[in-house]
Amino acid sequence: MSSTNAYPLLSHCPICHTLFAKEDIKLVEEKEQATLYHSLCQACGHGLLAYVLETEGGISSLGLITDASGVDMVRLAGSEAVSSEECVAAHRMILENSGDLCRRLLDISGKLA
């Protein structure tokens, strides 16, 4: 079921409320009862990642606003999951270097002169 009428979450942009065109809604991944869609709003440029789960009890959905493109979503859906060890290593690296990272980000944005 991939029509915009089937899932109200996929009918309009949650930011500017513009209706999505059918061609702006892309199937990213489908597994048994779960389907992942990506929609791109042509009016404001925001993306919506929609996870739809169909069960005997009904349909549940979850939407996430994203700046990732549909191409990014398809690429990421096909990649391996991040391991817990990789998450811990990334956390440690950010924690150890957060001061320098913040300084660099502020400098790039022009807020640190």
- Over residues 29-82, the pLDDT tens digits come to 888 889 889 998 889 888 888 888 888 888 888 888 988 877 788 787 778 888
pLDDT at 21: 86
Residue 1 has pLDDT above 70, yes or no: no
Instruction: Judge if 62 and 9 occupy the same domain.
Output: yes
Out of 8-12, 16-20, 60-64, least confident range: 8-12
Question: 60 and 16 in one domain?
Answer: yes
Is residue 85 located within the same domain as residue 74? no
Domain that holds residue 89: 81-113
Are 59 and 93 contained in the same domain? no
Q: What is the pTM of this model?
A: 0.62
Helix or strand holding residue 84 (H, E): helix 84-109
Rg (CA), the chain: 18
Cα separation values, 7 from 4, 21, 59, 99, 113, Å: 6, 13, 9, 44, 49
* Same domain, yes or no: 73 and 85: no
